[in-house]
Amino acid sequence: MEILIPVIIVTIIGLVAGLGLALASKFMSVPTDEKQEKIRECLPGANCGACGFSGCDGYSEAIAKGEAEPNLCAPGGAEAASKLAEILGVQIDTNPKVAFIACGGNREITKTKYLYSGMMSCAAANLVHLGPVECEYGCIGYGDCFKACPFGAITMQNGKPVICEDICVGCGKCVNACPKSLISLIPKGTTVRVNCSNKQKGANVVKVCAVSCIACGLCERTCENGAIKVVDNIAVIDYSLCTKCGKCKDACKRKAIV
C-alpha cells in the first residue's frame, strides 16, 4: 500500500503535465505555412547566409511571405532556384557564379617585404604595413578565405589559395574574408579573367610582381567587342559583352589575363 501513494502522485502529476502540454499545443499552435515547409525542403540547409537571411529557415520564411526573390540561394544554385520557382509559380533567371581570386602572385613570384611572425591570418598580417608581401594589393596567402569556405572549395597550394570551381557554389563567404578584397563572384564558365588587382602605375607594379597588370591597354585595343576596359590602372572585363575569344589573353605580355 505504501508504494501506491507516490506512484499515484507521480502518475497524476505526469498526466496533468502531459495533458496540459497536449491541450496547449492544440489551442496555441502557430500555423506554419505549408509553402514555407516545401520551400525549406528545396534549400540545401548549409545555413551559409549568402542569401542575406539568418539561415535557410529565415530565407524560406521570407520567400513564403513574398519578401525575397527565390534565386538568392548560392549553394543551391540553379537547381534550387528552379525548384523554388516551380513552387511559387514564377519565372526567374539563374546565372550561377563562382569565386575568383584576382592575384597571380605566390611565394615564388612575389617578393617578400619583411619576415612576419604574428598571428597566421591575412587580416592580422594586413594590419602590419599591409602585409609581408611586396605587392600591397596582392594575396598574403595565410588562408583567411580557405578558413572561411564552408564547402571546402578552396585549397592552399604553394602558399596561395586555389578555388576548385566544381565545388565552389558562389556563396561569397570568402569575398568578405579577404582583407585585400581580391575575391569577387564572376559568372561560372568564363575562360578569361584578369588575374591581378594592383591599381598602381605600371612602373611600380613591375617592380613587385612578374605576373601583373601594368595597365598598358593592349587588351583593350585587342578586344573586338569592347568587353575589356582599363579602369584605375587595371583591366576590367564586362562579362555581358565577352565572347570568350581569348584574344586578350594572347595579347597580354605580362600574362596577367588567364
| Positions 23 through 82 that interact with other proteins (CB under 8 A) | 24-25, 28-30
- Minimum Å distance from CB 132 to other proteins? 18
Size of the site for other proteins (CB under 8 A): 16
> What are the Cα distances from residue 191, in Å, to 186, 203, 255, 256?
11, 28, 14, 13
- Minimum Å distance from CB 72 to other proteins? 21
Query: What sections of 65-112 are H helices per DSSP?
Result: 77-88
Report residue 93 CA to chain centroid gap. Answer: 19
Instruction: Tell me the C-alpha distance between 195 and 145, whole Å.
Output: 17
- Minimum Å distance from CB 27 to other proteins? 9
228 φ, ψ to 5°? -120, 130
Stretch that binds other proteins, among 8-16, 63-71, 157-165, 222-230 (CB under 8 A): 8-16
Stretch that binds other proteins, among 15-23, 106-114, 132-140, 186-194 (CB under 8 A): 15-23
Stretch that binds other proteins, among 9-17, 152-160, 162-170, 242-250 (CB under 8 A): 9-17
Nearer to other proteins, 11 or 243 (CB): 11
The answer to whether residue 152 forms part of the interface with other proteins (CB under 8 A) is no
Residue 85: how many other CB atoms lie within 10 Å: 18
80 φ, ψ to 5°? -65, -40
Instruction: Tell me the C-alpha distance between 123 and 144, whole Å.
Output: 7
- Minimum Å distance from CB 193 to other proteins? 35
Query: Which of 6, 157, 166, 240 forms a contact with other proteins (CB under 8 A)?
Result: 6
Query: What sections of the chain are H helices per DSSP?
Result: 4-27, 34-42, 56-64, 77-88, 122-126, 144-148, 173-177, 202-208, 218-222, 247-251
Task: For residue 156, give the C-alpha cell.
Answer: 592552399
The answer to whether residue 1 forms part of the interface with other proteins (CB under 8 A) is no
Nearer to other proteins, 21 or 241 (CB): 21
Nearer to other proteins, 30 or 203 (CB): 30
Binding interface with other proteins (CB under 8 A) = 5-6, 9-10, 13-14, 17-18, 20-21, 24-25, 28-30, 119
